Structure formats: C-alpha cells, structure tokens
C-alpha cells in the first residue's frame, strides 16, 4: 500500500510501515509491525493539522506523517492505517 501526500509518502507492505518525508529531510523511518506499540491518529485542531504517529518499542524516532485536511479524509489513508493496526500484534489498547 502506498499513500502519496504533499509533504511525504507512507508505504506498508504487510510487515513494515515506512514514512518518507513529512519534515524528516535526510532519512525515512521504517517500523516493523512486531515492534509497534502505538498508532496515534489525530484529526487536528486549532493549533495542529491532522497526523498519524507510529511508535515502536526501542526506537528513539517515531514515524510521523502530517496531512492536509483533504488528504486526511482520503480513504487510502484510513485503509493504510487500519491495515497497519490490524497487522500489529502488540499495540497497546
């Protein structure tokens, strides 16, 4: 799965979620679903735009993707996030 946005690209192959761009200029962030502990989805508000944050055990850097409101409403964004959540066995509830 791949979602191309104005600020970056999210990919998910069923095991690894990758976050390219989104303010991380020099490197992508790769996270294996076995290491994921939390997936935060935020619709944004007065002081921030919509975003999704993937947090993995033992990693100092989170995979964070920010979206425009239009991008956040796209079904492929929701599908990718849902697929990651479904594949990650160790998410905190």
Domain residues for the domain of 46 are 2-87
Does some domain include residue 43? yes
pLDDT above 90: residue 14: yes
Does some domain include residue 92? no
Q: What is the pLDDT of residue 25?
A: 66
Per the structure, the count of domains in the chain is 1
Mean pLDDT across 33-59 = 91
Query: Coil, strand, or helix at residue 59?
Result: coil
Q: What is the pLDDT of residues 48-66, one digit of tens each?
A: 889 999 999 998 889 999 9
pTM, rounded to two decimals: 0.90
What CATH number does the domain containing 72 carry?
2.30.29.30
Q: What is the pLDDT of residue 24?
A: 66
76 close to 1: Cβ distance less than 8 angstroms: yes
Question: From CA 63, how far away is CA 31, in angstroms rounded?
Answer: 7
Does some domain include residue 93? no
């Amino acid at each position: 799965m791949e979602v191309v946005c104005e600020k970056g690209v999210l990919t998910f192959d069923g095991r690894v979620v990758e976050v390219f761009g989104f303010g991380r200029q020099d490197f992508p962030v790769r996270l294996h679903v076995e290491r994921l502990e939390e997936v935060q989805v935020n619709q944004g508000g007065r002081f921030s735009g919509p975003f999704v944050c993937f947090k993995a055990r033992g990693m100092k850097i989170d995979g964070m993707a920010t979206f425009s409101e239009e991008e956040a409403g796209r079904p492929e964004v929701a599908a990718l996030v849902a697929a990651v959540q479904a594949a990650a066995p160790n998410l905190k509830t």
